[in-house]
Amino acid sequence: MPEDPNPDRDLTPEVSAETDVARLGHTSPPPAHEQTADEDADVVDWDRVAAMEQFKALLKAKIAFIVPATLFFVVYYFALPVLVGWFPELMEKRIGPVNLAYVFALSQFFMAWAVAFVYLRKAAKFDEEARQIIARLDQPKGAKPE
């Protein structure tokens, strides 16, 4: 057998799949799901979005909703152990066959569902506003938003 003229070469065969991050021996761009932001030609300019007044207003609206809703629910949730610990005589009052503590504990489930429902409705509006902001990026200046 003749001696290899290049003994340092890698004898691993060049094989790859369509979904490999760096396909060996191929010069075509990687699939869309493997592209970085620098390789993606259809990327949103997030710095430009962050500088838009509409985006800043959206962030303020989200914070104005999320912070009070979260504070309300946290206070409501922790009110049960606080009331049971410091005001047991109040929580021992009977309402039908159960005491007030059990009614309050049950109400926390309904309150969680109510807060989640309100958040879903509000989040859908926030998402629509975000889509409109991104759509404005493609419009020429002076054009009316859709």
Phi, psi values for residue 94, rounded to 5° = -90, 140
For the record, the structure tokens of 50 come out as 């962050």
In the block, which residue shows the tokens 């340092």? 8
Average pLDDT value for the chain = 82
State percent of the chain over pLDDT 70.
71
Reported as a single tens digit per residue, the pLDDT across 100-126 is 999 999 999 999 999 999 999 999 999
| Greater pLDDT, 23 or 28 | 28
pLDDT on residue 34? 75
How far apart CA 31 and CA 17 sit, in angstroms, is 11
Reported as a single tens digit per residue, the pLDDT across 41-78 is 666 777 888 899 999 999 999 999 999 999 999 999 99
Q: Are strands 94-95 and 98-99 parallel, antiparallel or unpaired?
A: antiparallel
How far apart CA 120 and CA 112 sit, in angstroms, is 12
pLDDT(19) > 70: no
